[in-house]
Structure 1
Amino acid sequence: MTLSSWQEKAAAKAATTYSKIPQAWRLEQKDLNQAKQQVQLTGPFIQSFLGEKEKEIINHDTTVLAKKLASREYSAAQVTEAYCKTAAVAHQINNCLHEILFEQARERARYLDEYIGSHRKPLGPLHGVPVSLKDQFHVKGCDTTMGYIGWIGTFEGDNDPSKVRKVESQVVKELLSQGAVLYCKTSLPQTLMYGETINNIIGCTLNPVNQRLSCGGSSGGEAALQALGGSSVGFGTDIGGSVRIPAAFCGTYSIKPSWSRLSYRNVANCNPGQILYASAVGIMATSLETLPFMMKVLLDTEPWRRDPEVVPIPWRPEVEQEVLQRGRLTAAEGDRRPLKLAICWSDNYMSPHPPVTRGLKIVYEALKGIGYKAIDWNPPSHQALSQLHLDIIISDGGHDVNKQLDLSGEPIIPPIRETFKLREPFTAIKCQELAIQGLELCRAYSDYWESTANDDGQVVDAVIMPAAPHAAVIPGKYFYTGYTEVFNTVDYSSAVFPVTKADKAVDIADPNYKPFNEVDQKNWEAYDPEVYHGAPVGLQVVARRYEEEKVLAIARIIDQVLKKNNTTL
């Protein structure tokens, strides 16, 4: 294609998406202008465009919505309409949707209302619950572009009529089987491989909590939509932090399971042949309680029967309960095994900005206040694990990325131009060497974790650490993803929760700061208290492989303690 044709095709796609917004929900120019002038779009601003009942509905979390739908207090049509309208407004003021499925959602809601009326029971635990999806998941009847112009109107660039808009991701099938309503697909960066959300189809999605900052990536549209109230639960993917970074930046919750806990079957991906450090399907939500609820809903369908890559581990409520029980008792009350948690103040490669450090201190003091053991975390080099992860990601020499770009002739987005510049791919021998190196690094990390029992005979249960070295990030100044991608390399379970917000009056830069390296100094100099003011500060809690039940139980305990202390968002 010529330069003009890819631009025209992108513009046509964006216009088609916009055209699916009902006329009654379209904002006037004065409203759009006002939105551009706002720092914060969440809460009162976006809700000013909604009715009272709509506000009531979207302010419930998924677990409450599911109960109200099952009891018929709300109809599926009523809830679907509220979320479709909120998503429509969100897209107009925040540019966060790739696909609008409102008509399909309305039809689905009508079917569900008829079903519960005639059967006197819900279709499943998600009966009538609206679920949003990152634009990697295939839904019948609509595109999956993954930010590539060359994928518009195709199946991942393929024009095979038996596949175009006819393939369905396994997770999508599972959600529908449990009663979910699918109503939109959200924005992501071209290639997925960037910590911000920007592509040549719709441009950039900013942070609706603070529009001077990025919403993160690659599941940035999901987090932005949830922060705006346009979704209570959605699905993303994570190969280097992609469900954790956006949740931390936008003040929401997420979980990255070990990669084979949920099905990735028929989910689009960048460089899909690279499975040494595979991408994981993750869940993002407006409440922590939603995450275990959704994990259980999906695992109850026994996804391993349809996807041989999924480990046959059902949801284990007994693990949750055992951790929660330990969390209720303190050492002072006679518990012989109080929770033992570690705090990673810094990975000694990239210094956290002042708001993030303060967030860690808030959690540390809260844990000490209820009698938990809390130690410092000084593991083997995160930078080595991060670099290995990057080496594997680019091992094909950028051939897959450039192949997709060549379909339309569109340029690669500037921030990743150098990373995915076309070059000779690694040889099989080189990839094998990296695999061996990775195994050694993973073993060293596991050995360090085990060594935490040396002093008291008790191994650390989980680690609390930054999800990123900053509270959100100034667009174009994301220099390091090591705090998240290290746990893709070792394949550990990780959940993100909000702690506080950046405060220009409190979060003053340390005058004694000394950089670890040039990149660290560059990141430190990007901190501006005025710009960051009000940005969410999210942290991650990390447990080991396949410990999703444990990591969510610990996150729940911390979240409850913070709320009790009135220190959360």
Structure 2
Amino acid sequence: MTAAATVRKSTTFAAILPLAIFSAFVASYWFAFGDAWIMHPCDVHQPHWQTVVSEKRAELAAKIPQEWLLSQRVIDHARSRRSIAGDFLDSLLDSHTRDITTREPTEIVREIASGNLSSVEVVTAFCKRASYIHQTSPAFLEIGFDLALSRAKELDEYFNTHGQTVGPLHGLPITLKDHFHIKGLETSFGYVGWIGTFEGIKGTGKEKNVESELIRQLVSVGAVPIAKTTLMVSTWAPENNNNILGYLWNPYNQELSTGGSSGGEALLQALRGSAVGFGTDSGGSVSMPSSYNGIYSVKPSPGRLSFKDAAGSGLGNLAITAVVGIMGPSIRTLRLVFKSLMETRPWEHDSSVLPIPWRSDQELSPDANLSFGFMESDGIVAPHPPIARALEIAYSAVKNKGHQLIDWKPPSHAANAMHGPLARGDGCPDVYSAFKSSDEPIVPQLLHLFPDGNLKKPISLPDYQNITQEMMSFRNQYREYWTSTSRITKNGRPVDAVILPVSPYAGFKPGKFDYSTYTSIVNILGYTSAVVQVTFGDKSVDVVQEDYKPLGERDKLNMDTYDADASDGVSAAIQILGRDLEEEKILSIAQIVADAIEEYQAKQT
């Protein structure tokens, strides 16, 4: 068994044991070993933080009903497999649960509204499936199945009494990255020191009593939160690791990373553990894991979805603003959820949300004549062969529908170098303090933030202002370039959207991630983007060409990391980029592109 498989087996084993059995393992702990976290027995003198972790994991295990516990044989089999995506999970479920949880969410809400499905039926089915996922690949920092079923009963009572739903998401089970506060559940944000507290502070009276504005809005339109997903602790790395649950692996190849920081939500959506999920993004934390895990997503511009009363890192940063992203099995699902949230008029309760309702007039019809910018590479790092092929498929599919594509040559994406200073120019003292509060070790993915284990000196205010001015200048240059494309498009308008990579990789091994510019540049611009799935890696065709010439040293290093065997069968996606506050438009274009790809691929088979 590989080292990675050993890690996965040990993390899962502890996460799902019944409470009575699990108590025998409370003297186990996690320690850093390379890029993984491996469980080993230790003596009674273990540090307190390890005891807290053991107790938290026992608490999670106890929240899974006895009748939903998988046998150790099944768990071991899951951990030994290359992939747990696709039919594997379905084979473990009864037909009724499988039927409900594999339906398109837009169909589920229609069936509930017509009385053909009850909220309790749907929520129970997804909770059961989600429990299986957590046992095979620990995904939940918080489990709220009991709260969800209680709410589902209330929704059924309302429907039976009034003959109508409470809103467009009535009875739809959702999950959220552990940024958001749900009454009755903790929010650890991946920090051991936050367990049993409110954002690291004890005795506030807020513990399990605060509700994030996003949760209030979702519940008001009928959505039912069932759990909160694991994340990259602090969110400041593109992988998914914390000392509570450990490292998270890609369901398509369990030797690869899920990506991050919203990796838990991406994995759960890939395995259909809820109908739709919510992550957060300040540099690609929604888009990249969506790409790696075979799902769809939308990352809006700042000012559309509420972040009020949510936990986070660097929340006072207004230059690089973290946004809520929606993740799910289809663009239609994302549209339904985004539109439903706009109907709650979030700007009336959150001053950071702009007063922009859902704009149907911004959506483009399927037969619209569109023009696209097309970026095969940013000229710095070229995508690996599976992503290059996904781009080729998208190009051909869009062109075959009569749309125009032009080479996209914007101001250099080397400007992405400003992202780090803008996002983490303060030196991340909040992250440092949170780790120190429990004396838990800083996870390997974040060690570079704290050289020699110490805080970095923050950049000076004048320097920060200078970088902010550079960002504003870059935004204006990019806008001017985009507008200038009206001179070369056939319809005389600037390009409607840009097709480009999400990431150079279809997937990557722990510690091997090195390039986020394709997504973090979107955050610098404050633009809207969507991820559209295209194909899967195929080692028989996805090879580096013999005549390939590196774009530079960084590109050479990137291509040297490509592993055709590891990428085989792993998702390959594209990104659809729009300008700021173009969510309705980009969702409609993403649907047009997704439909074109589906039609094109059907003709090729």
Tell me if TM exceeds 0.5.
yes
Q: Give the C-alpha shift of residue 475 in structure 1.
A: 1.9
Letter in 2 for 1:228: L
Match runs of 1:475-486 below 5 Å = 475-486=510-521
Structure 1 SS opposite 2:297: strand
Whole-angstrom CA distance in 1 between matches of 2:318 and 2:197: 24
* Shift of residue 404, structure 1, vs aligned partner: 1.0
Matched, 1:360 2:388: no
Give the drift of 1:565: 2.2
Letter in 1 for 2:112: L
CA RMSD of aligned residues (A): 1.5
The residue aligned with 2:402 is: 371
Listed as ranges, the matches of 1:190-229 within 5 Å are: 190-229=233-272
Determine which of 207, 214, 219 is the counterpart of 1:171.
214
With over 3 angstroms needed to count, the CA separation of the structure-2 counterparts of 1:259 and 1:160, relative to structure 1, is farther
User: Counterpart of 2:373?
Assistant: 342
Residue from 476, 479, 486 that aligns with 1:453: 486
Match of 2:425 among 389, 392, 395: 395
C-alpha distance 81-482 of structure 1, shift in aligned 2 (>3 A): same
- State whether structure 2 residue 196 is matched by structure 1 residue 153: yes
The answer as to 2:474 corresponding to 1:444 is no
Give the conservation status (yes or no) of the 8 Å contact 2:238–2:259. yes
The one-letter code sitting in structure 2 at the alignment partner of 1:538 is A
Q: Distance in 2 between matches of 1:193 and 1:259?
A: 19
Q: How many residues align?
A: 555
Deviation at 1:33, TM superposition (A): 0.9
**8 Å CA contact retained: 1:496, 1:538:** yes
Tell me how far 1:276 sits from its aligned partner.
1.4
Distance 2:232 2:317 in 1: 19
Instruction: Report the equivalent of 1:45.
Output: 88
Cα deviation, residue 180, structure 1: 1.2
User: 1:202-256 deviations in whole A, cap 9, x for unaligned?
Assistant: 0011111221211111111111011112112011111011111111111110000
Q: Distance in 2 between matches of 1:16 and 1:311?
A: 40
In the alignment, the residues of structure 2 paired with residue 271 and residue 404 of structure 1 have an alpha-carbon distance, to the nearest angstrom, of 13
Secondary structure of 2:512's counterpart equals coil
Pair 1:533–1:546, CA change in 2 (3 A): same
Q: Does residue 561 in structure 1 map to residue 592 in structure 2?
A: no
Distance in 2, matches of 1:474 and 1:512, equals: 26
AA at the equivalent of 2:526: D
Supply the distance in 2 between the matched residues of 1:271 and 1:183 (Cα, whole angstroms): 27
Kept in 2: contact 1:241–1:485 (CA 8 A): yes
416-425 or 426-435, larger mean C-alpha shift: 416-425
AA of the residue aligned to 1:192: T
Q: CA deviation at 1:423?
A: 1.3
Residue equivalent to 1:333: none
> Which AA in structure 1 matches 2:389?
R
The answer to whether the Cα contact below 8 Å between 1:247 and 1:284 also exists between their aligned partners in 2 is yes
Rounded to whole Å, the distance in 1 between the matches of 2:570 and 2:122 is 30
Question: What percent of counterpart residues are identical?
Answer: 41
Matches within 5 A, 1:231-246: 231-246=274-289
**Among residues 335, 354, 358, which one is paired with 1:292 in the alignment?**
335
Between 488-497 and 41-50, the greater mean CA deviation after superposition:
41-50
Task: Write out aligned runs for 1:516-555 (5 A).
Answer: 516-555=551-590
SS at match of 1:442: helix
Of the structure 1 ranges 210-219 and 81-90, higher mean CA displacement relative to structure 2 is found in 210-219
Match of 1:332 in 2: none
Deviations 1:299-336 (A, max 9, x none): 1110000001101000111111xx22xx415xxxxxxx
- Secondary structure in structure 1 of the residue aligned to 2:449: coil
Q: Is the 8 A contact 1:394 1:419 kept in 2?
A: no
Preserved CA contact (<8 Å) 1:219 1:243: yes
Shift of the alpha carbon at 1:3?
Answer: 6.7
Of 444, 447, 455, the residue aligned with 1:414 is: 444
Q: Decide whether the 8 Å contact of 1:479 with 1:519 is kept in 2.
A: no
Distance 2:269 2:300 in 1: 20
Work out whether 1:103 is the aligned partner of 2:136: no
User: Which moves more between the two structures, 442-451 or 411-420?
Assistant: 411-420
Match of 2:292 among 241, 249, 252: 249
Which residue number in structure 1 is paired with residue 526 of structure 2?
491
Residue in 2 that maps onto 1:434:
467
Which residue number in structure 2 is paired with residue 126 of structure 1?
A: 169
Checking the alignment, whether the CA contact within 8 Å between 2:141 and 2:228 is kept in structure 1 is yes
Flag structure 1 segments of 5+ consecutive residues without an equivalent. 330-337
| Secondary structure class of the residue paired with 1:565 | helix
- Find the aligned partners of 2:158 and 2:494 in 1 and give their Cα distance: 50
Q: Which residue of 2 aligns with 1:381?
A: 412
Shift of 1:48: 1.5
Aligned pair 1:328/2:367, yes or no? yes
Equivalent in the alignment of 2:57: 14
CA offsets 1:64-103 (integer angstroms, 9 cap, x no match) = 1111111111111110110000000001111111111011
Counterpart of 1:255 in 2: which secondary structure?
A: strand
2:126 to 78, 83, 86: 83
Task: Give the 3-state SS of the residue equivalent to 2:290 in structure 1.
Answer: helix
- The question of whether the paired residues in 1 share the 8 Å contact of 2:126 and 2:173 is answered with yes
How many Å separate the matches in 2 of 1:462 and 1:108?
40
Q: 2:325 aligns with which of 276, 279, 282?
A: 282
| Aligned equivalent of 1:116 | 159
Whole-Å separation in 2 of the counterparts to 1:301 and 1:83: 25
Q: Deviations over 1:479-520 (max 9, x none)?
A: 011110100010000000100000000101122223334332
What SS does the aligned partner of 2:88 have?
A: helix
